[in-house]
Amino acid sequence: MSAPRTIGIGILGFGTVGQGVWKHLTDKKADLESRLGVKIDLRKVALRDPKKSRAIKISKSKITKNAYEVIDDPNVHVVCELIGGTTKAKEFTLRALNQGKVVVSANKALLCGHGPEIFKAVRKHGGQFLFEASVAGGIPIIKAIREGLAANRFELIVGILNGTCNHILTRMGEDGLSFADALKEAQELGYAEADPTLDVDGIDAWHKASILAWLAHGKWAPANRTLVEGIRNIGPADIDFARRFGFALKHLAVIQRNFEKNWMTVGVYPALVPNRDILARVSGVNNGITLRGDVVGATTLAGRGAGGDATASAVIGDIVDAIAALTGNSKQGLSGDDLVAREKQGLEVRMGDLDEIISPFYLRLSLLDKAGVSEGVYKIFSKHKVSIARVIQYEHPNKGRGTVTLSTYPVSERKMDAVLKELRRLKTVLEEPFLLRIFNPES
């Protein structure tokens, strides 16, 4: 079959990302056409509400409310799924893949939830599913793992993967904004998901971490074996502790792999990151990912993790790869063999357990303001052989309670869990203890 001379692009969804892709693909069209040696035809966009006012204006003839009109058009070779969610997005994606088309997606929820089914359709019908934009916005992390860093096995991948959380933590920590105001700002800037609880409760970062874990280790991280925590409960005392002791508060995704014992752990949670670590300096909407590879050592990639422009950059990168593959200029995407190899690799890996995840911890406790209360707390730490490194006590005169924040030396999640269980039983502990992990770049 001869390669098509004109490649048709169809776009599903015309929100933050869809409009960014249209705008930049239109701007760069002539340049890309001359580099790729083909004509690019931006054929049609599917959206829900044609009456909605949008920053990017396009001719009515290019718009449809019926996504099938885009997917089933024989002159559309590349379908960009930019609507989000997992129901319609899955249906549309499989419909395009079942026709052997290329799907370019920014949808991490879809890939994390239905990866095996999607790749089965890729293998069966010979299409492609490209997903650079699904993790870390404009940072080409997928390509880096698959191509540039292919020589490596990664014992640690740690990153800030949610732009909304990082924007909120930066604005709360540096500018004193409230959580609610900082979230509102992130929504207005187009960083947040349509349902922002996905961002602030850590689900979006888990989707992304699971994709990276699968790419690096061939195994999807199931929700029930992944520690998923968000940033809602972070308060002024936590920010104060971080500032006093040289940490930045970050929402981290941590993928650890032990090659000897063949386990992998995946966790996403707010953590204290020492200021000397490069990730502590990744602020605002930016994402940053450090990969510790056995050949390259530690490599960090950083850049804008959300927003229409940065994400469009990743989507257009995938479109360029797709065009190169469709016109026979290179073999791109995850081929059938690659997918089979990854599946095989994943079968050999188990999820690590709570004794195998070790880090220092930070704890905030609200305690009854009475003599001997702290002693009762410290006894529990000592019983479980958890050593305390630093403590701050805040008094709240006349309120009958005080706040204590403390950090520990490295211990296992299992031990810390045992400490927490006992602390919860103390009548003198007045609120649910608030726990953060402390990222230790040297561990």
Query: Which residues are catalytic, by number?
Result: 208
Task: Return the residues of window 119-148 that contact ligand NDP according to CB under 6 A.
Answer: 133, 137
Q: Site for ligand HSE (CB under 6 A): which residue of 164, 210, 256, 359?
A: 164
Are the C-beta atoms of residues 402 and 394 closer than 8 Å to each other?
A: yes
Shortest reach from residue 305's CB to ligand HSE, in Å: 5
Kindly state whether residue 170 participates in binding ligand HSE, applying the rule CB under 6 A. Answer: no
CA distance 148 to 213: 17
Residue 413 Cβ vs ligand HSE, minimum distance, rounded to whole Å: 26
For residues 393 and 403, what is the distance between their CA atoms, to the nearest angstrom?
6
Site string for ligand NDP, 282-321 (x = CB under 6 A): ------------------------xx---x----------
Strand pairing report for 263-274 and 350-351:
parallel
Nearest to 238 by CA among 376, 392, 359, 418: 392
Q: Which is nearer to ligand HSE, 20 or 163 (CB)?
A: 163
Q: Count of residues binding ligand NDP (CB under 6 A)? A: 28
DSSP E strand boundaries for 350-433: 350-351, 358-359, 361-368, 388-396, 401-408, 411-412
> Does residue number 193 form part of the binding site for ligand HSE (CB under 6 A)?
yes
Smallest distance from the beta carbon of 18 to ligand NDP, in angstroms?
6
CB of 422 to ligand NDP, least distance (A): 40
Residues belonging to the chain: 443
- Residue from 8, 9, 11, 14 binding ligand NDP (CB under 6 A): 14
DSSP reduced 3-state for 259? coil
Q: How far is the CB of 137 from ligand HSE (least distance, A)?
A: 5
**Which residue matches tokens 């979006």?**
204
Going by the DSSP 8-state scheme, the letter that residue 4 receives in this structure is: P
Q: Is 204 in the site for ligand HSE (CB under 6 A)?
A: yes
- At 409, the amino acid letter reads Y
Residues with Cβ within 8 Å of 379's Cβ and at least 6 positions away in sequence, in order, are none
Contact 116, 222 (CB under 8 A): no
- Pick the closest to residue 220 from 319, 294, 110 (CA basis): 110
Rule CB under 6 A: say whether 138 interacts with ligand HSE: no
- From the list ligand HSE, ligand NDP, none, pick the one residue 102 interacts with, judged by a Cβ distance below 5 to 8 Å according to partner type: none
Binding site for ligand NDP (CB under 6 A): 12-18, 46-49, 52, 67, 82-84, 88, 106-107, 133, 137, 190-191, 193-194, 306-307, 311
Give the binding site for ligand HSE (CB under 6 A).
Answer: 137, 162-164, 191-193, 199, 204, 305-306
